[in-house]
Amino acid sequence: MHPDLNLLVTLDVLLTEGSVTRAAKRLQLSASAMSRALARLRETTGDPLLVRAGRGLVATPRALELRRQVGPLVQEAEALLRPTEQLDLKRLVRSFTLRTSEGFAESFGPALLSAARRQAPGVTLRFVQKTDRESLGLRDGSIDLETGVIANSTGPEIRSQTLFRDRFVGVVRRRHSLAKGKVTLARYAAAHHVLVSRQGSVQGPVDTALQALGAERSSAIMVAGFATAVALARDCDLVASVPERHTAALRADMHSFTLPFAVPEIVVSMLWHPRLDTDLAHRWLRSCLREACTVRPALRRR
């Protein structure tokens, strides 16, 4: 007896959502119908797939293995069955929501908006601020495209593509003592710093690099984003250590300098849900974002 291949779509949604209720809502089914579908999946696979843990459900090892396989299968099947179409950018009317940091929007948003307005005047871009590294918005469809550093919390099914590599630089206001003369490791460490951490950790990549050299910096304040760090450094005698390209627009009126020690580069990527992988309009948006990130801003020295 051949298995019911329609169950693949149900399995994909169930494993992505991790909830019978949310999966039922997404597939526009009743909770009882989704429960029956889960029972059929359990019988077909010979595995419970999702088991109760407190008030929620957790995936079994077999379910985790299937989650990595079933998503691409469903996407490929949908692509095969979808009729060939042409994208008319001049007539395209659509709104995209992008989740980025303030610094990214300020540095790369103008080029992206310019390209979108020129090629597809009916497209609206909406930027929302990124406050964490969770990928829930991509899963539920409230976010179309996201930028940032891939984290352990990023869902295994999320698609990604590298946009650019970025290095850390120091930035101070023009009247700061580090704006004059050579910035040595000793001078850098002796200054007061603003630390950036979304999770509240006092150990970032800059601190790890300093620790390897037997040095440490004195952090006067901790903030959640690079834009806030640059703003504080602009008005106070603080040093902000931030990604160079990511904050190019924010640092335009300040003194930036190369850090006197090596810090590993960070890889900035764009992320999207596989449901949009073959969507022609979304492919166009991804190409526009890649293009907007191709020009490397020069490090300003004063």
CB contact at 8 A, 163 and 293:
yes
Of all residues in the chain, the percent with pLDDT exceeding 70 is 92
pLDDT of residue 280: 92
DSSP class per residue in 218-280 = EEEEEES-HHHHHHHHHHSS-EEEEETGGGTTTTTTSEEEE-SS----EEEEEEE-GGGTT-H
> What is the mean predicted confidence (pLDDT) over 22-36?
89
- Helix (H) or strand (E) run with residue 50 in it: strand 50-53
The answer to which of 6-10, 51-55, 84-88, 94-98 has the lowest mean pLDDT is 84-88
The predicted pLDDT at position 296 comes to 54
Q: What is the pLDDT, as a whole number, of residue 231? A: 94
Identify the band that residue 7 occupies on the pLDDT scale cut at 50, 70 and 90: confident
- Name all domains of the chain by residue range, CATH numbers in brackets: 7-81 (1.10.10.10), 93-164+267-292 (3.40.190.10), 168-264 (3.40.190.10)
Identify the band that residue 84 occupies on the pLDDT scale cut at 50, 70 and 90.
Answer: low
pLDDT: which is higher, 276 or 55: 276
73-77, 213-217, 276-280 — most confident range: 213-217
Q: Please compute the mean of the pLDDT values over residues 166-183 and round it to a whole number.
A: 96
Predicted pLDDT at 264: 94
pLDDT at 302 over 50: no
**pLDDT exceeds 70 at position 237:** yes
When pLDDT is averaged across residues 1-16 and rounded to a whole number, the result is 81
Q: Is 164 in contact with 245 (CB distance < 8 Å)?
A: yes
The residue with greater pLDDT, 41 or 5, is 41
CB-CB neighbours of 234 under 10 Å:
18
Beta carbons within 8 Å of 206's beta carbon, 6+ residues apart: 168, 217, 241, 259, 263
* Cβ atoms of residues 178 and 233 within 8 Å: no
**Cα separation of 160 and 151, whole Å?**
12
Cα radius of gyration (the chain): 24
- Which residue is associated with the tokens 């042409």? 86
Average model confidence (pLDDT) for the chain? Answer: 88
pTM higher than 0.85, yes or no? no
Given a cut of 70, is residue 152 above it in pLDDT?
A: no
Predicted confidence at residue 123, as pLDDT, reads: 96
* Residue 260 near residue 188 (C-beta atoms within 8 A): yes
Give, for 195, the enclosing helix (H) or strand (E): strand 192-196
Confidence at residue 295, expressed as pLDDT on a 0 to 100 scale: 61
The answer to whether residue 273 scores a pLDDT higher than 80 is yes
pLDDT score recorded for residue 298:
42
**Mean predicted confidence (pLDDT) in 23-44:** 90
SS3 letters across 111-174? HHHHHHHHHCCCEEEEEEECCCCCCHHHHHCCCCEEEECCCCCCCCCCEEEEEEEECEEEEECC
Give the pLDDT score at 122. 96
Tokens, residue 98? 């992008």
The pLDDT assigned to 156 comes to: 75
All residues at 6 or more sequence positions from 207 whose CB lies less than 8 Å from its CB, including other chains? 195, 216, 217
